[in-house]
Amino acid sequence: MMSRLPLVGAAFALTACSSGVTPEKISLIKPAMTPDQVEAILGRPSRIDQSETTDQIQSGEVDHYPAPNGEGRVVFVNNTVFKAEFVPGAKS
């Protein structure tokens, strides 16, 4: 008999990638999480922008996650989460 475990894992992965981003999901993102950990919760971002501080000491990226009522943004510095926020009304 064929195991259902691979199917359950595939269904979970599809759900994570297709589910809507909410303020509640963004609140699960904590500093020092890795991109893989964030992707497991929010799925893949719709857009990734490179960012630098004004003094150009730190550089990183901002991952954008569109939602019907705003946008989730996750800022990575040195490949770990620096900050995560939900911006109501923002458009990607």
Which domains does the chain show, CATH number per domain? Answer: 5-88 (3.30.1450.10)
| Torsional sign, CA 34, 92, 47, 8 | positive
| Residues 75, 81 contacting (CB under 8 angstroms) | yes
Per-residue pLDDT at 72: 97
Q: What is the pLDDT of residues 23-33, one digit of tens each?
A: 999 999 999 99
pTM value > 0.85 = no
Chain mean position to CA 61:
11
pLDDT band at 7 (very low <50, low <70, confident <90, very high): very low
Bridge partners, residue 75, by sequence:
62, 83
The answer, yes or no, to whether residue 11 has pLDDT greater than 60, is: no
Q: What is the pLDDT of residues 38-49, one digit of tens each?
A: 999 999 999 999
